[in-house]
Structure 1
Amino acid sequence: MLSISEFSEMCHLSPQALRFYHAEGLLVPAEVDERTGYRSYAFEQVERAMLITLLRDTGMSVKLVRQALDEPDRAAALLVRHGDEVRRQRTAQDEAIQAARAVFDAQPEPRLRRVPAMTVVAKLVHGTPRGRDAREWDEAETLIEATLTELVKTVREGGVTTLGRPWRSLAIETQEQDRRVLDGEGPFWMVKVPVVAPEEALVALPAELLVQEQEAYDELSIFMPGRNTMAKYCTVILRLLNAAPLDGEAFVNLARLRHEVHDDGVLTGAPVERRPQ
């Protein structure tokens, strides 16, 4: 029999790791002294220790390692599945690293720009959750993007020419919309696309679409690299609020935030308006 220290040296596993594997039922000592609690291992257990080390080195969880050891015929399939998950995580980590570098390299700061007058066609996005956690936020993102794609398609099929990049904004442009958002009923978002078309083409669009004439205005905007998330959304709002002071009569109207989703990030803007006299 081998003491835990001898077995530890032989298998290159620390005594702490051996105690953990014992507690998890992966590698139970051949003998445990009831009086002292000392663990002893048989030489034949070296092979199981080696297999555990091999599997754990792949990043497998204890649960998967146990399955592979208890059902050797499934080990290959479990390794394939685990390999797929590792590659997925690696891809996600690579994307996260690129997003982090982009944010730190860009140091996003608000910029003042002039938005020209334009005609826009809008559509309410029905069915989005409130975005209270990451799952709801991602679900809302998917629904918003699908509605936006459908809007652009419908407008173009109606003989209306789209101009520039579409965007999304909060659905609080009327008292009724505002009430439904505050009550948690929704819809919470609407999507818009700038267009140019004869009046008759705009009138012929489906009734669910809203045609709006937007006057030119000044906008404070900021570009945040990477995937759109709730944390980035809140960070952008904070930076717009903390932007260089405007003159005493001007303020940033965050209720009219708009978001343009680009391949490499999100441009968020809010109108700079004058306080009523």
Structure 2
Amino acid sequence: MLSIKDFSEMTHLSAQTLRYYHAEGLLVPARVDEQTGYRSYTFDQVEQAMLITVLRQAGLGVQQVKRARDEPDAAPALLREHAKQVQRQREEQDEAIRTARDLLEAQPEPCVCRVPAMTVVSRPAPVTPLGHDRQNWDLAEKTLTAATGDLIKVVESCGATPAGRPWRILAPRAALAREGAFWLVQIPVVGDATMLAAVPADVEAQEYSGGDELSITMPGRHSMAKYCTAISRLLAHPIGDAFLDIGRLRHLSHEDGVEFSAPICRADR
């Protein structure tokens, strides 16, 4: 039999960790002295401790390790699923590092851009108001991206051609009424009246007047904080006697960030 001190030295697990594993039923000593409470282990348990250590170092929780021990046939699938989760976390961390670097090296600043007049097709997207947690925003982004892809297919099936980067805007009437689709996906297109007349009933074709817009691009994925920061910086940017129509704020997704662009309205118009 090995004392807890000897077993600790062999397995590189502290006595405190071994007591914790005992309490959790993960690595139970071969014998516990009823009078002194001293724990003793067998040499064969070193292999158990080694496997537990490897799985814990891989990031599995105590309950996951117990399941892998108790259900050896399910252990490989459990480890594969954990590996996928770790990979997703690494990708998120890599993206966060890139975003942090972009924010630290070059603070996003608004700029005035000229947007041409264009024909735009628009369709409601089945997305409820965005929540404050990351999961809700990610789900909304996936839904909006899918809705945009579907609208592109509709446009092309009618013989029209997408003519620029799609965007989305908040649907003002639905937002005020707090019912229905809260977002519209919109795509600039090239096509004649016959082509546009063939679009489904839930797709609207309209003219976008164009003009000067104030734009800012926030690096990384969309989030509530970036959305609010963008609006704050746009509204704080001096534009003389003009004002911004934030109600028509466009959200344009880029590979490296999200662009927010709002029309500049002149006081004399």
Q: TM-score, normalised by structure 2?
A: 0.85
Deviation by residue 1:199-218 (Cα, 9 ceiling, x = unmatched): 34334433332222222322
- Output the aligned Cα RMSD: 2.7
2:213 match: 219
* Distance in 2 separating the partners of 1:114 and 1:103: 25
Q: Secondary structure at the match of 1:266?
A: strand
Q: Secondary structure at the match of 2:251?
A: strand
Contact 1:202 1:211 in 2 (8 A): yes
Q: Aligned match of 2:253 in 238, 261, 264?
A: 261
The farther-off stretch of 98-107 and 258-267 is 98-107
* 1:152 has 2:152 as partner: yes
Q: Match of 2:159, as an amino acid?
A: G
1:33 Cα deviation after fit: 4.8
2:28 match: 28
Counting aligned pairs with the same residue, the percent is: 55
* CA spacing shift, 1:47–1:206, aligned 2, 3 Å: closer
* 1:57 has 2:50 as partner: no
* Distance in 2 separating the partners of 1:122 and 1:77: 44
* Distance in 2 separating the partners of 1:137 and 1:189: 13
Q: Aligned match of 1:251 in 243, 249, 256?
A: 243
* Distance in 1 separating the partners of 2:33 and 2:268: 84
1:272 match: 264
Deviation by residue 1:8-67 (Cα, 9 ceiling, x = unmatched): 223211122112212211122344455654444444432322221122222222122112
* 1:46 has 2:46 as partner: yes
**What are structure 2's unaligned runs of at least 5 residues?**
none
Contact 1:129 1:136 in 2 (8 A): no
* CA spacing shift, 1:137–1:36, aligned 2, 3 Å: same
Contact 1:129 1:137 in 2 (8 A): no
* CA spacing shift, 1:206–1:41, aligned 2, 3 Å: closer
* CA spacing shift, 1:112–1:13, aligned 2, 3 Å: same
* Distance in 1 separating the partners of 2:83 and 2:145: 31
* Distance in 2 separating the partners of 1:213 and 1:77: 54
1:188 Cα deviation after fit: 0.6
**What are structure 1's unaligned runs of at least 5 residues?**
none
Contact 1:130 1:136 in 2 (8 A): no
* CA spacing shift, 1:139–1:72, aligned 2, 3 Å: closer
Contact 2:137 2:222 in 1 (8 A): no
1:185 Cα deviation after fit: 0.8
Q: Secondary structure at the match of 2:253?
A: strand
The aligned length equals 268
* Distance in 2 separating the partners of 1:272 and 1:77: 55
